[in-house]
Structure 1
Amino acid sequence: MGSTGALEVEEAVASCLALLSTATERDWDGVRAGRLEWSCRRTAEHIASDLISYAGQLAGRAQHAYLPFDIALDDGTDNSGVLEVIGATGALLSATVRTTPREVRAFHPLPFRSANREGFAAMGTAEVLVHTHDIAEGLGLTYQPARELAEFVLTRIFPHIRPGADPWRTLLWATGRGNLPGRAPVTGWRWHNNLVLPTERLTLEGVHPAAAADLVNGGDGGFEWIPGGPFQGTREAATFMTKAYQAGLHRPEFGVFALVRQEDGRAIGGMGFHSVPDEEGRTEVGYDLVEGARGQGYATEALRALTGWALARDDVHTVLATVEHDNLASQAVVSRVGFKQAGEDDEGLIYELGG
């Protein structure tokens, strides 16, 4: 995949400055920013505040709350000065994203209490894009950022949103700022950073739609794999997830997870759900490991963590697993986790684990 998100932050900030620099002589204090209650000036200051906050969270490796600091502009700062601050704080976030290791996560409340560098880059890019739109709407300007920027945001932190033909219009709709044919107006929204589940030796990292698409196309999904990875089963799971995302049926916490070794940050396999829970609270899990990681207890460790997380939820009552008739190793894995054989079909033995 290649991108950490640093370039997208830079391009979003550049698009913001290019447009708003044409209107610095206007009255930003006396004009509301689009549908917001804030003025255009307050909204511009908010952009800078978010950018420096995200940079601080990531650089400081904050784990439990927002770092206790804020940004304040000097009295008398004019509109051009505000834009200079946006440029500087954007550069700080971009530099932080570039220099932060992939596995590092820092506190953010929505929705799973943390985000990695890509998540913070996507959140920063989203803040710049949608609030530049708000200011532009208030000032009567036309703002049309690059298609790729909106797509970057949607595929990283809006995985639950069905993509549309125009990513920018889709992002505006998803954040309550516009309408899309055939879709009800959005009155309440939030973004979704990926879910991460730690175990003793592994980290189960939720795969976002852009990473899944990369896996489908033969890429690495943004992970460094041990030799032989990713295995075919992971690519097939990514294919199913991509289809669910395109249909608007994907829920990120019931998608695909990469199994990453904590000792070296390398991915060794994939695990995930075939679908969201049905009306009876049943969902099915599947997994595979790269050959070099088999026989070391990794699958048992990961499956125990993922099923434990699922069964602790109110909407999951039973986890299923189908194992091929001749796959004795996988049958041993599900048995060690506590699954009981409940039947069989042409595809294999059917195991169940209840809450």
Structure 2
Amino acid sequence: MRAWGGDQVTEAVAGSVELLRTVTDRDWTGVRAGRLEWTCRRTAEHIASDLLAYAGQLAGRAQTAYVPFELGFEEGTDQAGVLEVIETTGALLAATVRTTPPRVRAFHPYPFRSANREGFAAMGIAEVLLHTHDIAEGLGLAYEPPAGLCESVLTRIFPHVRPGPEPWPTLLWATGRGDLPGRAPVTGWRWNNNLVLPTGRLTLEGVTPAAAADLAAGGDGGFVWLGDAPFEGTREVAAGLLKAYDSGVHRPEFGALVLVRREDGRAVGSLGFHGVPDEEGRAEIGYDLVESARGHGYATEALNALAEWALARDGVRLLYATVEEANTPSQGVLARAGFVRADVLEEEPLLADRTLRLYTRRA
């Protein structure tokens, strides 16, 4: 998967500035920006502030809160000057994204308290696209960014949003700025950066729809794999995640995660859920490892961490996994991770294939 983020930030900023330069002689201070309470001038300043803030978070590796600084404009800065600041802060974010290692995380509150370089790039791009739309709407300008930019934002920080016929109207709808046929208006929304769970030797990184699409197509999903490629089960899980995303039932916290070794940043396998918990609070879980990573306890470590995290959530009371009778290594993994062989009564509603064995772990 080709490195993503820096070039796209540059593209988004260039398109915004190109449009807004055509109206620097207009009044931005006395005109409201679209549906916002802010003026067009205030909104343009906000774009620059957010680009700088995201660059600062990522460059400084902030871990617990926003870095306590803000952007100020010199008195007398005109509209053209504001656009220069947007270009400059956009360049700072683009450079930071390009030079930050892919596994680095920094603080962002929504929803799991951190984001990686792709997350910060996607949030920066979204700020540019959406607020340029707001300003353009206030000033009566036509604006439609490239569909590829919109889709890349949706598949990275809006994984819970079912794709629409076109990416730009979908992004506008998802942020309360437009309507989509058959969908209720959005009145509140947040970014949704991917889940990350640390363990002793591993980091479990949530798979975004963008990464899943690459994995399902035979790519690496943005990971450096031990043995140069994931096990086939990971690609199947990615394809299932994409199917759920396309149908609007994907929930990122009950998706898939890749196991990344802390010692060298190599991906060694994947694990995750086969879907959201059912009405009884039961969720099925699965996992696999590349062959050269087996026998080192990675699956047990990851499975135990994910089980503890999931069973602490409201609405989850039981996790279960199915395994072939002859697969004793996998049965050992489940046992070491606190799962127990289910009795006959538990198997009836959960296990249709009688050649498999069911293991469960309760809250």
**Does the TM-score normalized on the shorter chain lie above 0.5?**
yes
Q: Whole-Å Cα distance in 2 between the matches of residues 335 and 289 of structure 1? A: 17
Q: Which amino acid aligns with 1:256?
A: A
Partner of 1:74: 74
Q: Whole-Å Cα distance in 2 between the matches of residues 54 and 315 of structure 1? A: 34
Q: Which amino acid aligns with 1:352?
A: T
Which of 333, 336, 356 is the equivalent residue of 1:348?
A: 356
Partner of 1:249: 249
8 Å contact kept, 1:155–1:208 = yes
Q: Which amino acid aligns with 1:350?
A: L
Report the TM-score, using the length of structure 2 for normalisation: 0.97
Q: Which amino acid aligns with 2:7?
A: L
Q: Whole-Å Cα distance in 1 between the matches of residues 255 and 337 of structure 2? A: 20
Unaligned runs of 5+ in 2: none
1:1-53 Cα distance to aligned partner (Å, 9 max, x none):
21331111001001100100000000000000000000000000000000000
User: What CA RMSD, in Å, does the superposition of the two structures yield over aligned residues?
Assistant: 0.8
- Displaced runs of 4 or more, over 2 A: 343-347
Deviation at 1:315, TM superposition (A): 1.3
Deviation at 1:338, TM superposition (A): 1.3
Q: Whole-Å Cα distance in 2 between the matches of residues 143 and 276 of structure 1? A: 38
Q: Whole-Å Cα distance in 2 between the matches of residues 188 and 128 of structure 1? A: 19
Q: Whole-Å Cα distance in 1 between the matches of residues 338 and 307 of structure 2? A: 10
1:276-321 Cα distance to aligned partner (Å, 9 max, x none):
0111110000000000000000000000000000000011100000
Report the TM-score, using the length of structure 1 for normalisation: 0.99
Q: Which amino acid aligns with 1:147?
A: A
> 3-state DSSP class of the match of 2:224?
coil
Q: Whole-Å Cα distance in 1 between the matches of residues 70 and 173 of structure 2? A: 30
Q: Whole-Å Cα distance in 2 between the matches of residues 147 and 341 of structure 1? A: 49
Partner of 2:104: 104
The 5-angstrom pairing of residues 1-355 of structure 1 reads 1-227=1-227, 229-342=229-342, 343=347, 345-355=353-363
> 3-state DSSP class of the match of 2:321?
strand
Q: Whole-Å Cα distance in 2 between the matches of residues 214 and 350 of structure 1? A: 32
1:204-247 Cα distance to aligned partner (Å, 9 max, x none):
00000010011110000010001153000000111110000000
8 Å contact kept, 1:229–1:269 = no
Q: Which amino acid aligns with 1:349?
A: R
Q: Whole-Å Cα distance in 2 between the matches of residues 251 and 104 of structure 1? A: 24
Q: Which amino acid aligns with 1:30?
A: G
Q: Whole-Å Cα distance in 2 between the matches of residues 12 and 295 of structure 1? A: 46
Relative to 1, partners in 2 of residues 1:252 and 1:347: Cα closer, same or farther, differing over 3 Å? farther
Q: Whole-Å Cα distance in 1 between the matches of residues 354 and 232 of structure 2? A: 21
8 Å contact kept, 1:211–1:221 = yes
Q: Which amino acid aligns with 1:239?
A: A
Aligned residues with identical type, % of pairs: 70
Q: Whole-Å Cα distance in 2 between the matches of residues 217 and 339 of structure 1? A: 33
8 Å contact kept, 1:228–1:291 = no
Q: Which amino acid aligns with 2:177?
A: R
8 Å contact kept, 1:205–1:258 = yes
Q: Whole-Å Cα distance in 2 between the matches of residues 214 and 297 of structure 1? A: 28
Q: Which amino acid aligns with 1:14?
A: A
Q: Whole-Å Cα distance in 1 between the matches of residues 336 and 182 of structure 2? A: 47
Q: How many residues align?
A: 355
Q: Which amino acid aligns with 2:204?
A: L
Q: Which amino acid aligns with 1:99?
A: T
Unaligned runs of 5+ in 1: none
Q: Whole-Å Cα distance in 2 between the matches of residues 83 and 315 of structure 1? A: 48
> 3-state DSSP class of the match of 1:260?
strand
